[in-house]
Amino acid sequence: MTPASPPASGSVRGGLFAFAAYLLWGVLPLYFLQLEPTGPWELVAWRILLSFVFCLILLTVLRAWRPFLAIVRQPRLLGLTALAGALIYVNWQTYVYGALNDRVIETSLGYFINPIVTVLLGVTVLRERLRPVQWIAIGLSVAAVMVIVVGYGAFPWIALTLALSFGVYGLVKKQIGPSVDAVSGLTLESFWLLPVAIVQLILVALTSGLTMGANGPLHTTLLASAGAITAIPLLLFAAGARRAPLTVMGLIQFVAPIIQFGIGVWVLHEPMTLERWIGFGLVWVALTILSVDSLVASRRRRTAISDVGEPV
C-alpha cells in the first residue's frame, strides 16, 4: 500500500498563493515609483519600521505570541534571524535603489540569476554535487554577465548584489527551517533592523528632510502602506511553499523578474542594447536548461519512490 499523496487541491492552492506572491513582487517597482519624492534610504527605513508594526498586529490578531516567545528563548534561532535580517536589508536597499534610479531591468536580471546562485551555494556551502547539465547552466550565466560587462561597459552590481543577498538569505532560512514561522521570522528580522532604520530616518531628516506627511494624503497613505506591502507577499510565499511542490515553486519564481523586465523595457523605456539582449538571452537559456533538468530529476525521483513503494 503506497502512502497517500497530498490532496491535489492543496497543491493548486499553494501554487496560487505562490503566484500571487511573485505577482506582487513583480509590480513593486510601480509602487515605489508612486512614492516620489521619497528616496531609497527613507523608503527602506519606513519599510522596516512599518513591517515590524504590521507583524506585531498580525501576532496579536493570530494569537501567535506564544510560539514567537518560544523562538525568542532560543539563541541559535535569534542569531540566524539577525543574519537573515542583515541580508534582507542589503536586498531591500539595493532593490529600492535600482527601482528608483532607472535600473529596473538590472533588478530583474538579479532575480533571473538568483536560481543559479542558489545552485552554486549548494555546491560551495552544502557540498552538493551538480549534474553536468547544471554546470552548463552556470557556465552560460557566467558568460552572460561577462557579455554585459564587456559589451555594455558597466558591471551589473545591482543584479549580482540582489542575486547573492537573496540566495544567501534563502540558505539561512533553510537552516532555520520550520522552527520559525513566516510572521515570527519577519517580526524578528525587522526588529534587528530597527536601529538601522531609525539612524537612516534621522540622517534623512537632517539632510534632505522626511517626506512622510509632507506630500499630500495620497502619498502619505501609500508610504504608510509599505509595511503591509512588504509583509503580505512574504506570507503568501510561505503559505505557497508549504503546499506546492518544489518543481512548481521553481517555475513560478520567474514570474516576478519577467514582470519587472517588462516594466523596465515597455513601461519605463529603459535602454536595452544588443549586448544586454545577448546577456539576458544567455541567462534565459541557462534557466530553461536548469528548469527542464529539475523537472526531469523530480520525475525520476517520483518514479523511484513509486517503484520502491510498490508491493512485492
What are 163-191's pLDDT values in tens digits? 999 999 988 988 888 888 889 999 999 99
Pairwise pLDDT comparison (156 vs 10), residue with the higher score: 156
- Average pLDDT (75-101) is 96
- By the 10 Å C-beta count (0-12 exposed, 13-18 middle, 19+ buried), 122 is classed as middle
What is the chain's mean pLDDT, rounded?
A: 89
CA distances from 172 to 25, 39, 68, 77, 176 (A): 21, 29, 18, 10, 6
pLDDT for res 7? 57
Pairwise pLDDT comparison (65 vs 121), residue with the higher score: 65
Mind listing the pLDDT tens digit for each residue in 25-63?
999 999 999 999 999 999 999 999 999 999 999 999 999
pLDDT for res 5? 47
Question: Please, how many CA atoms are within 13 Å of residue 277, restricted to the half-sphere of its CB?
Answer: 5
Mind listing the pLDDT tens digit for each residue in 230-280?
999 988 988 888 788 777 887 888 999 999 999 999 999 999 989 899 999
Mind listing the pLDDT tens digit for each residue in 194-226?
999 999 999 999 999 999 999 999 999 999 999
CA distance 154 to 142: 15
pLDDT for res 4? 45
β strands within the chain, DSSP E:
none
Check whether 98 has a pLDDT greater than 90: yes
Pairwise pLDDT comparison (73 vs 310), residue with the higher score: 73
pTM (predicted TM-score): 0.90
